[in-house]
A and B are shown apart, each in its own frame.
Chain A
Protein backbone atom coordinates (compact mmCIF):
# COMPACT_ATOMS: atom_id res chain seq x y z
CA UNK A 1 0.00 0.00 0.00
CA UNK A 2 1.34 3.40 -0.95
CA UNK A 3 1.77 5.83 1.91
CA UNK A 4 -0.16 8.56 0.10
CA UNK A 5 -2.77 7.68 -2.51
CA UNK A 6 -4.50 9.86 -5.06
CA UNK A 7 -6.69 9.23 -8.07
CA UNK A 8 -4.56 10.01 -11.13
CA UNK A 9 -7.46 11.52 -13.07
CA UNK A 10 -7.79 13.44 -15.23
CA UNK A 11 -10.48 15.31 -13.39
CA UNK A 12 -12.31 17.51 -15.87
CA UNK A 13 -14.43 20.45 -14.71
CA UNK A 14 -15.89 23.45 -16.56
CA UNK A 15 -14.68 26.95 -15.82
CA UNK A 16 -16.37 28.38 -12.74
CA UNK A 17 -17.16 24.99 -11.18
CA UNK A 18 -15.78 23.53 -7.96
CA UNK A 19 -12.97 21.02 -8.35
CA UNK A 20 -12.63 18.44 -5.57
CA UNK A 21 -9.34 16.60 -5.17
CA UNK A 22 -8.90 13.76 -2.70
CA UNK A 23 -6.05 11.99 -0.97
CA UNK A 24 -5.68 9.25 1.62
CA UNK A 25 -2.63 8.41 3.70
CA UNK A 26 -1.60 5.30 5.60
CA UNK A 27 0.91 6.52 8.19
CA UNK A 28 -0.95 7.64 11.31
CA UNK A 29 2.27 9.28 12.45
CA UNK A 30 1.96 11.88 9.70
CA UNK A 31 1.44 15.30 11.18
CA UNK A 32 1.30 17.77 8.31
CA UNK A 33 -0.37 17.59 4.94
CA UNK A 34 0.36 19.62 1.86
CA UNK A 35 -1.13 20.36 -1.51
CA UNK A 36 1.28 21.26 -4.29
CA UNK A 37 0.48 22.32 -7.82
CA UNK A 38 2.80 21.31 -10.63
CA UNK A 39 2.66 22.62 -14.17
CA UNK A 40 4.18 20.51 -16.90
CA UNK A 41 7.97 20.78 -16.90
CA UNK A 42 8.04 22.82 -13.71
CA UNK A 43 8.82 22.07 -10.08
CA UNK A 44 5.97 21.70 -7.56
CA UNK A 45 4.78 24.84 -5.81
CA UNK A 46 2.95 24.91 -2.49
CA UNK A 47 -0.74 25.83 -2.47
CA UNK A 48 -1.70 25.02 1.11
CA UNK A 49 -0.81 23.00 4.14
CA UNK A 50 -2.99 21.75 6.99
CA UNK A 51 -2.26 19.94 10.22
CA UNK A 52 -5.45 20.29 12.28
CA UNK A 53 -8.69 18.43 11.71
CA UNK A 54 -11.28 20.48 9.87
CA UNK A 55 -11.16 23.04 7.10
CA UNK A 56 -8.63 25.67 6.18
CA UNK A 57 -9.47 28.31 3.60
CA UNK A 58 -7.18 30.50 1.53
CA UNK A 59 -8.85 32.47 -1.24
CA UNK A 60 -10.41 30.06 -3.72
CA UNK A 61 -8.79 27.05 -2.05
CA UNK A 62 -10.05 25.02 0.91
CA UNK A 63 -8.11 22.15 2.42
CA UNK A 64 -9.91 19.60 4.58
CA UNK A 65 -8.34 17.11 6.95
CA UNK A 66 -9.95 14.15 8.70
CA UNK A 67 -7.32 12.30 10.73
CA UNK A 68 -9.72 9.59 11.89
CA UNK A 69 -10.41 8.66 8.27
CA UNK A 70 -6.85 9.49 7.17
CA UNK A 71 -8.26 11.66 4.44
CA UNK A 72 -7.22 15.00 2.99
CA UNK A 73 -8.99 16.98 0.30
CA UNK A 74 -8.59 20.19 -1.67
CA UNK A 75 -11.51 22.17 -3.02
CA UNK A 76 -10.93 24.77 -5.72
CA UNK A 77 -13.84 27.16 -6.12
CA UNK A 78 -14.50 29.14 -9.31
CA UNK A 79 -12.03 26.97 -11.22
CA UNK A 80 -10.06 28.74 -13.95
CA UNK A 81 -8.30 27.32 -17.01
CA UNK A 82 -5.03 28.45 -15.36
CA UNK A 83 -5.76 25.95 -12.57
CA UNK A 84 -5.18 23.12 -15.06
CA UNK A 85 -2.19 21.28 -13.63
CA UNK A 86 -1.25 18.23 -11.61
CA UNK A 87 -2.04 18.47 -7.91
CA UNK A 88 0.19 16.59 -5.52
CA UNK A 89 -0.81 15.61 -2.01
CA UNK A 90 2.01 15.12 0.50
CA UNK A 91 2.28 13.95 4.11
CA UNK A 92 5.09 14.51 6.57
CA UNK A 93 6.29 14.08 10.12
CA UNK A 94 9.31 16.01 11.40
CA UNK A 95 11.58 14.45 8.82
CA UNK A 96 10.16 12.33 6.02
CA UNK A 97 8.04 13.94 3.30
CA UNK A 98 6.08 11.59 1.04
CA UNK A 99 4.05 12.49 -2.04
CA UNK A 100 1.15 10.87 -3.81
CA UNK A 101 1.20 10.26 -7.55
CA UNK A 102 -0.82 13.39 -8.24
CA UNK A 103 -4.21 14.15 -9.80
CA UNK A 104 -4.34 15.88 -13.16
CA UNK A 105 -6.96 18.62 -13.26
CA UNK A 106 -8.32 19.97 -16.55
CA UNK A 107 -10.47 23.10 -16.45
CA UNK A 108 -12.23 23.78 -19.73
CA UNK A 109 -13.28 27.33 -20.77
Chain B
Protein backbone atom coordinates (compact mmCIF):
# COMPACT_ATOMS: atom_id res chain seq x y z
CA UNK B 1 0.00 0.00 0.00
CA UNK B 2 1.14 3.50 -0.80
CA UNK B 3 1.74 5.48 2.30
CA UNK B 4 1.97 9.21 2.75
CA UNK B 5 2.68 10.07 6.34
CA UNK B 6 2.47 13.48 7.95
CA UNK B 7 4.45 14.00 11.11
CA UNK B 8 1.61 15.28 13.29
CA UNK B 9 -2.17 14.94 13.30
CA UNK B 10 -2.73 17.95 15.57
CA UNK B 11 -0.39 20.82 16.34
CA UNK B 12 -0.75 23.95 18.44
CA UNK B 13 1.83 26.71 18.03
CA UNK B 14 2.24 30.28 19.20
CA UNK B 15 2.22 33.33 16.97
CA UNK B 16 5.71 34.07 15.67
CA UNK B 17 7.03 30.54 16.08
CA UNK B 18 8.78 28.76 13.24
CA UNK B 19 6.77 25.67 12.38
CA UNK B 20 7.84 22.59 10.44
CA UNK B 21 5.34 20.20 8.90
CA UNK B 22 6.89 17.00 7.58
CA UNK B 23 5.60 14.65 4.92
CA UNK B 24 7.12 11.32 3.90
CA UNK B 25 6.02 9.01 1.08
CA UNK B 26 7.24 5.50 0.49
CA UNK B 27 6.42 4.96 -3.21
CA UNK B 28 9.26 6.79 -4.91
CA UNK B 29 6.87 9.43 -6.28
CA UNK B 30 8.42 12.34 -8.13
CA UNK B 31 5.74 14.93 -7.36
CA UNK B 32 4.81 16.12 -3.89
CA UNK B 33 2.34 18.82 -2.88
CA UNK B 34 1.30 20.86 0.12
CA UNK B 35 -2.26 22.14 0.36
CA UNK B 36 -4.23 23.91 3.00
CA UNK B 37 -7.94 23.32 3.36
CA UNK B 38 -10.34 25.83 4.85
CA UNK B 39 -14.16 25.72 4.96
CA UNK B 40 -15.64 26.99 1.71
CA UNK B 41 -12.24 27.42 0.07
CA UNK B 42 -11.40 23.84 -0.86
CA UNK B 43 -7.82 22.64 -1.22
CA UNK B 44 -5.50 25.50 -2.07
CA UNK B 45 -2.05 24.69 -3.40
CA UNK B 46 0.76 26.23 -1.37
CA UNK B 47 3.86 24.71 -2.97
CA UNK B 48 4.74 21.66 -5.00
CA UNK B 49 7.92 19.88 -5.95
CA UNK B 50 8.58 17.69 -8.98
CA UNK B 51 12.09 16.58 -8.03
CA UNK B 52 14.64 16.73 -5.26
CA UNK B 53 15.65 20.32 -4.48
CA UNK B 54 13.06 21.60 -6.98
CA UNK B 55 10.08 23.64 -5.84
CA UNK B 56 7.34 25.68 -7.45
CA UNK B 57 4.97 28.17 -5.90
CA UNK B 58 1.32 27.32 -5.87
CA UNK B 59 -1.57 29.71 -5.46
CA UNK B 60 -0.90 30.87 -1.89
CA UNK B 61 2.85 30.64 -1.10
CA UNK B 62 3.06 33.80 1.02
CA UNK B 63 4.26 33.10 4.54
CA UNK B 64 5.44 29.59 3.65
CA UNK B 65 8.56 27.94 2.36
CA UNK B 66 9.39 24.32 1.53
CA UNK B 67 12.33 21.98 1.48
CA UNK B 68 12.91 18.79 -0.48
CA UNK B 69 16.36 17.42 0.26
CA UNK B 70 15.38 13.79 -0.31
CA UNK B 71 12.90 12.36 -2.78
CA UNK B 72 10.67 10.84 -0.12
CA UNK B 73 10.42 13.88 2.14
CA UNK B 74 8.76 17.23 1.57
CA UNK B 75 8.70 19.77 4.38
CA UNK B 76 6.48 22.81 4.76
CA UNK B 77 7.87 25.65 6.84
CA UNK B 78 5.94 28.50 8.38
CA UNK B 79 8.67 31.05 8.95
CA UNK B 80 6.71 33.05 11.54
CA UNK B 81 3.35 31.50 12.30
CA UNK B 82 0.32 33.76 12.32
CA UNK B 83 -3.28 33.12 13.39
CA UNK B 84 -4.47 33.26 9.77
CA UNK B 85 -2.39 30.15 9.11
CA UNK B 86 -4.62 28.12 11.38
CA UNK B 87 -5.88 25.45 9.01
CA UNK B 88 -5.85 21.82 7.92
CA UNK B 89 -2.68 21.04 5.97
CA UNK B 90 -2.64 18.14 3.53
CA UNK B 91 0.36 16.61 1.82
CA UNK B 92 0.00 14.56 -1.37
CA UNK B 93 2.26 12.72 -3.80
CA UNK B 94 1.95 11.45 -7.37
CA UNK B 95 3.97 9.77 -10.04
CA UNK B 96 4.97 12.16 -12.82
CA UNK B 97 2.63 10.85 -15.52
CA UNK B 98 -0.78 11.52 -17.00
CA UNK B 99 -3.78 10.21 -15.11
CA UNK B 100 -2.08 9.09 -11.95
CA UNK B 101 -3.76 9.21 -8.58
CA UNK B 102 -2.66 11.60 -5.87
CA UNK B 103 -2.20 9.90 -2.51
CA UNK B 104 -2.88 12.00 0.54
CA UNK B 105 -1.52 12.02 4.03
CA UNK B 106 -3.89 12.04 6.98
CA UNK B 107 -3.66 15.81 7.37
CA UNK B 108 -2.28 18.08 10.10
CA UNK B 109 -4.70 20.33 11.94
CA UNK B 110 -2.57 23.34 12.88
CA UNK B 111 -3.83 25.90 15.37
CA UNK B 112 -1.84 29.10 15.86
CA UNK B 113 -2.68 30.95 19.07
Q: Within 8 Å of chain A (Cβ to Cβ): is B50?
A: yes
User: Does A99 lie at the interface of the complex (its beta carbon under 8 Å from any beta carbon of B)?
Assistant: yes
Cα A32 to Cα B92 with chains together (Å): 16
In the assembled complex, the CB of B61 is this many whole angstroms from the nearest CB of chain A, namely: 13
Given A43-B107, A88-B43, the answer on whether A97 and B90 have CB atoms closer than 8 Å is: no
B76 to chain A, nearest CB (A): 16
Tell me if B99 and A51 are in contact (CB < 8 A).
yes
B contacts with A, residue count (CB < 8 A)? 28
- Is B31 within 8 A of A97, CB to CB? yes
Interface of A is mostly: loop
When each residue 75-113 of chain B gets 1 if its CB lies under 8 Å from chain A and 0 otherwise, what string results? 000000000000000101010111111101111000000
The one of A6, A51, A101 in contact with B98, judged by C-beta atoms closer than 8 angstroms, is A51
Contact between B101 and A99 (Cβ–Cβ < 8 Å)? no
A72 within 8 A of B: no
Beta-carbon contact of A32 and B99 below 8 Å: yes
B15 to chain A, nearest CB (A): 26
Q: Is B27 an interface residue (CB 8 A)?
A: no
C-alpha spacing A95/B30, complex, angstroms: 9
Contact yes or no, A101 B41, CB < 8 A: yes
Q: A43-B107, A97-B45, A99-B43 are in contact. Are A34 and B102 (CB under 8 A)?
A: yes
Q: Which residues of B contact A96 (CB under 8 A)?
A: 45, 48, 56, 58
What is the bound-complex CA distance between A55 and B51, given in angstroms? 33
B48: chain A residues within 8 A (beta carbon): 95-97
**CB-defined A-B contacts under 8 Å, sample of 10:** A31-B98, A34-B101, A43-B104, A44-B104, A46-B101, A46-B102, A94-B50, A95-B31, A99-B45, A101-B41
Complex A-B, nearest 10 residue pairs according to Cβ-Cβ distance, in ascending order: A101-B42, A43-B104, A99-B43, A32-B99, A95-B50, A46-B101, A51-B99, A102-B42, A31-B98, A32-B98
